Structure 1
Amino acid sequence: MEVWVSISGEKKKYQGSFRSVMENIALEGKDKDLKLLSIHAPKKELRRFKRDLRAYSKDLFKTANEIAKWFYQKEYRKLSRLSKELRKKTDPQSAERYSKIQQQLSQVKEKLSALS
């Protein structure tokens, strides 16, 4: 995905995955004037982006923020399910994976709170 955005009159290019582009726009565009200049993305991502942009009254910051939140919530739920499964197991490998998942959960919580 490639997005050209004007942030307070300065042109900026974001390139990468749908998730990373939306995160960067949400983090860098806070309390600034955002304008979408162009977007190049696969059809599925483009449809999702346009649908959300219309839903949020063509507010690019709000759209990027909500899409990034959606990705974080999706990851949080996935990690939460994994931790519930591993919590019951007693073998050392599961205990190690459980502790790693708990760290990842705390990181995702921090990112979610940063976007809120």
Structure 2
Amino acid sequence: MANILVVDDAAFMRVMLRTMLENNGHSVVGEAANGVEAIEKYVTCRPDLVTMDITMPIMEGVEAVRKIRLKDPRAKIVMCSAMGQKAMVVRAIQAGAIDFIIKPMQEGKVLEVIAKHTSS
């Protein structure tokens, strides 16, 4: 199972994702509420995968993806976006994100995307 960093400015989303992941055998090694925290936590936690919200204060997700990928070109980052953010998802993929999950998150889809990118 994977060590995951959960990044979202909404605390309830972080709790929901943490619960979903931990109930299915994954370990949440850190949480961040914005892109700046995400970069710091990525460096200290060294997760197998990051779930990254797109719209956040201080530094949005696309910029955080770009900066994390500069530090670690092999970083696996999955974007979490609301419906209607297609242009932002495209920008995130161009910045180095490997996949995306549409909010509201469905447990089956979240686990499927995580498994696709963490199974050896």
Q: Normalized against structure 1, the TM-score is what? A: 0.30
Q: Which has the higher helix share?
A: 1
Considering only CA atoms, is the larger Rg found in Structure 1 or Structure 2?
Answer: 1
Q: Normalized against structure 2, the TM-score is what? A: 0.29
Q: Which has the higher strand share?
A: 2
